[in-house]
Structure 1
Amino acid sequence: MAHRSFGKHKWASWKGRAQRCRRVVGTTAAVSAFLASGWAPLACGPTARADVFDAVIDQVLDAITGSWAGLAGVSGAVSEFGGLGGGAAGVGSMAAGPLNGWVQGLEQDWINSGLGQQVDTVLNSWFTLVDPTSGACGLICNGTDGVDGVGGGLIFGDAGNSAQPMSQNLLVDPGFEMADPSASGYSGVTIPGWTETGTPTVIAYGTLRGYPSPLSFPFPKLPAFLGFPQHAPAGTPAGDDVFAGGGPVATSSISQTVDLTGAAGTPYTLSADLGGQGLNPSYASVQVTFFGSNGNVLGTGSLSPVTVWDRLGITGFEQRDISGTVPEGTTSAQVTTIFHDENPFLGNYNGAYAANESFTVGDPNLTAATLTPPVSDVGHLDHVFLIYLENKGVGDIVGSPNAPYINNLIKTEDFDSNYFALGHPSDPNYIRVMGGSGFGIDYNPDTDVVTAPSLMQEMDQAGISWAGYEQGIAPGTVITPQDSVEATPFGLFTYVYDNTPAYLQEHIVPQADLSSALQNPSTFPSFAWVEPDEANNMEGPVNTFGSALQWLISQLTTHQYNIAAGDQYLQQTISTIENSPTWTDPNEKDAIFITWDEDFNNLSLGIDNQGNNVPLIVIPNQGAVTAGDMQAGPFTTDAYYNQYSLMATIEDALRTTPGTLAPLTANDMYAPPMNAFWK
């Protein structure tokens, strides 16, 4: 996919230099409008370094240091300048006076200061409005390298070097086109080629905005003008129809590392379209960090953010770019985009956006890396158990006096402190693990809603057995399609919901049958989803006045409702599994994955919002440790994983032959598998 590469401004230092340029389209004006504003004297100056201030000040400095002949050249140079076009690239460079370097430093210090960037943005935007064809980059700015026809600022700033060849954009998938965009805008996704933290997302332009509903039906969508950005920024390459955002809650980031071997000492350019949502003050920042061969930081450069004030509270984007010189000794660079969540309003949605990111250097031989799925170290498992609890974040569980058993597991087994659910409310967080997408669902459906392929379908095709063990189903129950959607996600997929009664009876099982099924390892399902009922899943129950009151009090206080019941449920269930022949057989490689569907902010009201950081506990049996190279507890990692990582790990662990359990979407294909739990 082609992505634009913005030009580079020429600087005297390797440090990142920021220039802010507001996009202005559809407006032209006569140069006389500029002259009438009181800047007319600037139209008469010599052709030094492509700007008027430099030309005049050089002559004055020459005079001060004894070069009277240079000063005499001012009048001749004035007649040659001839107007505002003097900022165009390609004009001659005047010989530097003795103090020229000092003045040059003052100019660049102003251009790159915070105040200078703010002032220059206004001046340059106004200048672009009144004379968009001048050939200068603005009033106070630096010209571009590798591009003809764009010079330094009319007041001051360096001209670019049009002869400087630049590389292609070195970022992998800089326009985020390889991602499967969130159809609701309220779920995190995998962004191929980028390393994530938190719950960043990718959204298509024109997506209408809703609000997560805890009910069995969605809330109405908002009008388009209140929705996500409806149109791509000007200059976006054809076919690039998505942008990245901070996601449903909390601060998130994406980053990638670029090989710069041989590029030290060459110019670089970093650029992006940054923006935000309406009055939401969340904003995006982009930084490049240069590293030496031993990992030491050699320098940085940062784009100026686009604040809600820059946008005037209007949803959209503005261009930002910086240029500089790659520090000597550099072998790699990391480009990081942080989506800063500053939203004080209901739900705390992170409305920071970025699009069209670009990083180039002055070495045309360098190219972007090839996009490939992450390497998996996940080993084969004979049985995978998944136990899903509800609505508790890491802060609610770790150290809780109501969860002594769980906290003992955290201390003695494998634990990841940096695992994330990817949205609200509950059901989409179940669907993602089995379908590889949220499918735009932002409510809790009570019937089948997904017609896309699923992991259940793939397991059936590969001959891999699976079952859902539900505590809420009484022994001897004749399973109906509605039973298949009550607790586990299986029936939310049409493939399961519309299947035969015998199929449902085989795959949707009362948890009371779990103990007997575990007696024979050869017949126990390879994948078992074990699900507590409302009384034990840590969310409910709320079916009586007393329980509803307790739930409400917990919303407003300690967020501990039902944790003790869930803790006891886990102790009983895990004891049943660990004391069974399926678990204790030394030839069987088994593992239990315990996690929560979302944090306490399940109503998207911002209550106990932990950014959807939820606990993940992994318990391997002895066979998985000795023969399967899993980490024996106690083991703790802070490796970033999310629900698509869980799906990818299940696929890798249960895959018996190459080609089976293939990734269903870009989300599970490019999500980082849980390699940390394997040696």
Structure 2
Amino acid sequence: MVSVKFITAITLALAATVSAAPASHGHKTPSHHQKLVHGKYFDRFMIVVLENQDYEAVVADPYFGSLAKKHHGNLLTNYLATTHPSEPNYIAMIGGSTFGNDDDSDVSYNEKSIVDILEPRGISWKEYAEDYIPGPNGDCAMDSAQSKNVYRRKHNPFISFSTVTSNPARCKNIVPGSQLAVDLKAKNLPQFMFYTPNMNNDGHDTTLAYASNWTHSFIEPLLANKDFTKDTAVLLTWDESKNYSNTDQVWSVLVGGAVKAKRNNVDNTKYNHYSILATIEKNWKLHNLGQNDANATAFKW
């Protein structure tokens, strides 16, 4: 398990952003020297995905249950995951389809993903995966597990697309989670960020309480940092429900400087994981992938 000392260290790093910044790799990402591609609702979007809990349990947690109101965001009370188990949900978020996947095995799809609609418009992206170890020269690491098994490939959807892993420049945009603090300090955050906690922090191998404590330590310093929150929307969500026999409703919240609070900080609109792509496409006027994103409901602002 990750120690409290380790979590505290990461929290302080994000809060103060004092990490040394190495040279960046891969596609250029916007910084204070570069012009953002402005969107209709937000200029940056981050997704943080946690693991395997029912909506009712999460909303009853003291921290998760109060997060939307505390940060003037919105609780999405009718948000559904796509399927079971974990991996196809992650793939759906960036690919618009599960492509028939119904397990957590290592897969590789020669299909378009969100990357293929962001890059033509010059919109930068990164996958921040905790405890991920890139291959030599920043190549995509195809291992199922790394770093004492707290990283999982199945929770890093970009690795499941050969259209990403066969491209060295794209591989360099899949980085360890610790790179987030570096990019924040350098004012070099990408415009689309997918953050994958490790197997302890996402609650998969621990508990809801552990995931709650980690989320508090991770997201609070970010939301207190004006360089991060300005024109940024953050979706905190869960990959799937714990109970396979229910509707697959998952707790999801939108927070950040770009989010406008609705009445009682609640949005009852029916959404699902495909709504992520629909929202990105609507915000930046992008083509859709021709998958389930084409008819999905975008988040309402």
Which residue of structure 2 aligns with residue 442 of structure 1? 102
Which residue of structure 1 aligns with residue 9 of structure 2? none
Which residue of structure 1 aligns with residue 29 of structure 2? none
1:673 counterpart = 2:298: yes
Which residue of structure 2 aligns with residue 518 of structure 1? 184
Which residue of structure 1 aligns with residue 120 of structure 2? 461
Which residue of structure 2 aligns with residue 62 of structure 1? none
Paired residues for 1:19-168 under 5 Å:
none
Q: Residue 475 of structure 1: CA displacement?
A: 9.3
Amino acid at match of 2:287: A
CA contact (8 A) 1:380 1:652 kept: no
C-alpha offsets along residues 177-219 of structure 1, whole Å, 9 cap, x if unaligned? Answer: xxxxxxxxxxxxxxxxxxxxxxxxxxxxxxxxxxxxxxxxxxx
* Unmatched segments (≥5 aa) in structure 1: 1-377, 541-560
Give the aligned CA root-mean-square deviation in angstroms: 2.4
Quickly say closer, same or farther: Cα 1:474–1:576, change in 2 above 3 A.
farther
CA contact (8 A) 2:133 2:176 kept: yes
Q: Distance in 1 between matches of 2:94 and 2:53?
A: 21
1:386 counterpart = 2:47: yes
Quickly say closer, same or farther: Cα 1:510–1:519, change in 2 above 3 A.
same
Q: Which has the higher contact order (CA 8 A, sep 6+)?
A: 2
- How high is the TM-score relative to the length of structure 1? 0.35
1:638 counterpart = 2:268: yes
1:432 counterpart = 2:92: yes
User: Which SS does the other structure have where 1:385 is aligned?
Assistant: strand
Structure ID, larger Rg = 1
User: Which SS does the other structure have where 1:457 is aligned?
Assistant: helix
Quickly say closer, same or farther: Cα 1:481–1:471, change in 2 above 3 A.
closer
Quickly say closer, same or farther: Cα 1:594–1:463, change in 2 above 3 A.
same
Q: Percent of aligned positions with the same letter in both sequences?
A: 31
Which residue of structure 1 aligns with residue 171 of structure 2? 504
CA contact (8 A) 1:519 1:581 kept: no
Q: When the two structures are aligned, how many residues end up with a matched partner?
A: 252
Q: Residue 668 of structure 1: CA displacement?
A: 1.2
1:423 counterpart = 2:83: yes
C-alpha offsets along residues 564-614 of structure 1, whole Å, 9 cap, x if unaligned? Answer: 111122112212322334225xxx31111000010003xxxx4xx331000
Q: Residue 498 of structure 1: CA displacement?
A: 1.4
Amino acid at match of 2:93: V
Quickly say closer, same or farther: Cα 1:578–1:475, change in 2 above 3 A.
farther
Which residue of structure 2 aligns with residue 651 of structure 1? 281
Quickly say closer, same or farther: Cα 1:665–1:475, change in 2 above 3 A.
closer
Q: Distance in 2 between matches of 1:639 and 1:581?
A: 29
Amino acid at match of 1:492: S
| Bigger fraction of residues in strand | 1
Q: Distance in 2 between matches of 1:642 and 1:422?
A: 7
Quickly say closer, same or farther: Cα 1:575–1:411, change in 2 above 3 A.
closer
C-alpha offsets along residues 265-284 of structure 1, whole Å, 9 cap, x if unaligned? Answer: xxxxxxxxxxxxxxxxxxxx
CA contact (8 A) 1:475 1:512 kept: no
| Bigger fraction of residues in helix | 2
Which residue of structure 1 aligns with residue 287 of structure 2? 662
Q: Distance in 1 between matches of 2:298 and 2:129?
A: 27
CA contact (8 A) 1:386 1:528 kept: yes
1:398 counterpart = 2:28: no
Which residue of structure 1 aligns with residue 221 of structure 2? 576
Quickly say closer, same or farther: Cα 1:436–1:475, change in 2 above 3 A.
closer
Which residue of structure 2 aligns with residue 118 of structure 1? none
* Unmatched segments (≥5 aa) in structure 2: 1-38, 145-152
Amino acid at match of 2:184: L
CA contact (8 A) 2:140 2:159 kept: no
Quickly say closer, same or farther: Cα 1:486–1:612, change in 2 above 3 A.
closer
CA contact (8 A) 1:598 1:612 kept: yes
Quickly say closer, same or farther: Cα 1:457–1:634, change in 2 above 3 A.
same
Q: Residue 411 of structure 1: CA displacement?
A: 3.9
CA contact (8 A) 1:381 1:589 kept: yes
CA contact (8 A) 1:518 1:581 kept: no
CA contact (8 A) 1:518 1:580 kept: no
CA contact (8 A) 2:86 2:154 kept: no
Amino acid at match of 1:594: L
Q: Residue 514 of structure 1: CA displacement?
A: 1.0
CA contact (8 A) 1:385 1:527 kept: yes
CA contact (8 A) 1:395 1:610 kept: no
